[in-house]
Structure 1
């Protein structure tokens, strides 16, 4: 087997199946990453969504005995909606992060990796290959960085020379000993725009993220959101892009290369009020194909309530009152009560007082009291 010739064939084939960048790296342990991950755990900076076993995250041979190489891929996604809908006063809209526009990238990249794996197996039938996209044990960013896809920016994203950080990442580990590509030199330099722009201070320093403060993570949680973050979420329904938007490396970057990743404006920027009454079936039918739906409708609905409060949308008061009184989920009832206090009018005040007499859940009662205090301009503890 001529490995260098095979590598050339793989690179050429990757261009025909919708892979925008491809790189090769050794499957040696990620020693530096291992120490970083240990430090993250000690500081309690992890979100809980990560693979919990640091050894498996940093030692590829534990996932595949005999692992020799990585093949890393990147697929570019759009940063702009071609015909964005208007965010009108009585029809306010939320927004999904760019990484959730179009079809779920896990499906898109798995398809690309499966095709690539089949291509390799045809040429090397005894090859071992394991593919991963985001949910695998390995760090996609660490593999991509080693394989020369891009450098790891201070915003904790892989930044490519061609597509900025607007790329999805995937990788495969194999027992084929490919020659490695050269990593790209870090070029953030003295720029700290992403750190300065982070609304919650989640970017502790360049390349270090406190996930528990990150709005992208917080939009995906299912419980009550801490008071300190509710006003900062704005109209974000899932994820957040500020740390990418402010990056100079992303200036003018907007690639529309793959039809599966094109955003539907009505899904990427949906009206908020219809979300409040959406059934599970309706939610799956409309949003089930995007990555932002993976946590179900509850976080999206909670965030929609917060967005209506952000806009102080009085046209939503009736819907919020109904949620506060009738929804079976304490998080939704309580968040609606808080939002009514934030928006504020006579109906809200009357309904909060009525709800306080009937509500049994302690956490919801706290939210009702908070709403009443806001309406009465009292300090909130």
Structure 2
């Protein structure tokens, strides 16, 4: 088997199926990554969404015996939205991060990897392959870095020379000994703009992320958000782009290479108030096709309430009072109470006091009590 010729054929074929960049790396153990992950675990910087077994995250042969190489792929996604609706005082809107615009990228990348697998198996029927996207055990970023897709930036994203960090990543472990590509030299230099732009200080230093403070992670949690982070989220209802938009390597980059990645402006920049009462069926029909829906509607609704508080949207008071009175979920009731306190209209004081009397959940009750105190102090000032 002429692996050099096969590699070139795969590269050429990848261009015909909508893969924007492809690279090849060895299937050796990721020793440096292993040590970094141990430190992350010791510092409790992991989000909990990752594979917990560090050996599986760093040793490809545990996932595919006799692994010899890994193929990394990257697809560029848009950074600008066409015909974006404006958020107005009467109709406030939230925003999904760019990586969740368009069709769920997991489906898009799996489609490309499946086509690539079929092509390889047609050429080498005895080969064994294992593909993964995002939720697999391996670190997409470490694979992409080793395979020459881009360098690992201080913002903990892969930055490509062609597309910046606006790329989705996927990989395929193979038993074919492809010659590896050369990794790209780090080009961040002394720039520290992403670290400085992080709203919560989650970027502890260049290349080190405390996931528990990251807004992108926080917007995906389902419980009460610590108050110190609520004021940092703004109108983000899923994800965060701050460390990407601050990056000079992303300046002016905007690629519209894949129709299925084009966002529906009304979906990814939705009106906030309607989200508070959206049914499960409506949520699934509207947001189900995008990756930002994977945690369900509860985090999105909680974040929408926080966004309304961010805007101090007095027109949302009736909606928030309805949520406070009728929603069966303590997190949503309590966050609505907090928002009412932040909006700061004293006429809701009586409603909050009644809610406090009937509330059975301790955390929700604490939120209601705190908001009552805020309004009382406002009234006494």
Output the TM-score relative to the length of structure 2: 0.98
Residue equivalent to 1:258? 258
SS at match of 1:318: helix
- Give the secondary-structure state (helix, strand or coil) at the position aligned to 1:49: coil
Whole-Å separation in 2 of the counterparts to 1:331 and 1:366: 11
2:268 aligned partner: 268
Contact 2:346 2:375 in 1 (8 A): no
Query: Residue in 1 aligned with 2:347?
Result: 347
Aligned to 1:160: 160
The CA distance in 1 between the partners of 2:335 and 2:28, in whole Å, is: 48
Shift of 1:305: 0.2
Q: Specify the SS of the correspondent of 2:172.
A: strand
Q: Which residue of 2 aligns with 1:356?
A: 356
Aligned to 1:235: 235
**Matches of 1:226 and 1:202, distance apart in 2:** 14
Paired with 1:158 and 1:321, the residues of 2 have a C-alpha distance of 44
Measure, in 1, the Cα distance between the counterparts of 2:346 and 2:155: 44
| CA distance in structure 1 between the aligned counterparts of 2:264 and 2:350, rounded to whole angstroms | 39
Shift of 1:207: 0.3
Superposed, which structure 2 residues align to 1:356-375 within 5 Å? 356-375=356-375
Equivalent residue number for residue 43 of structure 2: 43
Moved over 4 A (4+): none
Paired residue for 1:134? 134
Partner of 2:56: 56
Query: What is the rounded CA distance, in whole Å, between the counterparts of 2:96 and 2:370 in structure 1?
Result: 28
Whole-angstrom distance in 1 between the partners of 2:170 and 2:370: 45
Q: 2:16 aligns to what SS in structure 1? A: coil
Aligned equivalents of 1:115 and 1:377: distance in 2?
Answer: 63
Give 2:178's aligned residue: 178
Please give the secondary structure, in 2, of the residue aligned with 1:143.
Answer: helix
1:16-35 matched pairs, under 5 angstroms? 16-35=16-35
Deviations 1:202-248 (A, max 9, x none): 00011000000000000000000001001100000000000000000
- Contact 2:74/2:168 (<8 A) preserved: yes
1:51-84: CA deviations, max 9, x gaps? 0100010011101110000000000000000111
Corresponding position of 2:122: 122
1:67 aligned partner: 67
1:376: how far off? 2.5
2:193 is equivalent to residue 193 of structure 1:
yes
Which residue in the other structure is 1:84 paired with?
84
SS at match of 2:217: helix
Q: Secondary structure at the match of 2:93?
A: coil
Displacement after TM superposition at 1:346 (Å): 3.4
SS in 2 for 1:204: strand
- Alpha-carbon distance, 1:347 to partner: 3.3
Deviations 1:298-322 (A, max 9, x none): 0000000000000000010000001
Match of 1:284, SS state, is helix
User: For residue 143 of structure 1, what is the aligned residue in structure 2?
Assistant: 143
3-state SS in 2 of match to 1:73:
strand
Aligned mates of 1:377, 1:82 — CA distance in 2: 45
Shift of 1:369: 1.0
Which consecutive unaligned segments of at least 5 residues does structure 1 have?
none
* 1:372 CA drift (Å): 1.2
- Residues paired across the two proteins, number: 378
Secondary structure in 2 aligned to 1:176?
coil
Q: SS of the residue aligned with 2:130?
A: strand
- Note the alpha carbon deviations across 1:100-147, whole angstroms, 9 max, x for none: 000000000000000000000001000100000000000000000000
Q: Say if 2:219 and 2:238, in contact at 8 Å, map to a contact too.
A: yes
For the aligned residues, what is the CA RMSD?
A: 0.7
Three-state SS of the structure 1 residue aligned to 2:91 is coil
Q: Deviations over 1:266-305 (max 9, x none)?
A: 0110000010000111000000010000000000000000
Once residues 192 and 132 of structure 1 are traced to their aligned partners in structure 2, the CA distance between those partners, rounded to angstroms, is 31
- Name the CA distance, whole Å, in 2 between partners of 1:299 and 1:358: 24
Q: Does 1:12 align with 2:12?
A: yes
CA deviation string 1:341-378 (max 9, x = no partner)? 01121332121111111111111110001111222237
For the 8 Å contact 2:73–2:170, the answer to whether it is kept is yes
Q: Secondary structure, in 3 states, of the residue corresponding to 1:232?
A: helix
> What is the rounded CA distance, in whole Å, between the counterparts of 1:74 and 1:371 in structure 2?
47
SS of 1:36 mapped into structure 2: helix
C-alpha separation between the residues in 2 aligned to 1:232 and 1:84? Answer: 23
Give the alignment of 1:90-105 within 5 angstroms: 90-105=90-105
Following superposition, the deviation at residue 4 of structure 1 comes to: 0.7
Give the structure-1-normalised TM-score: 0.98
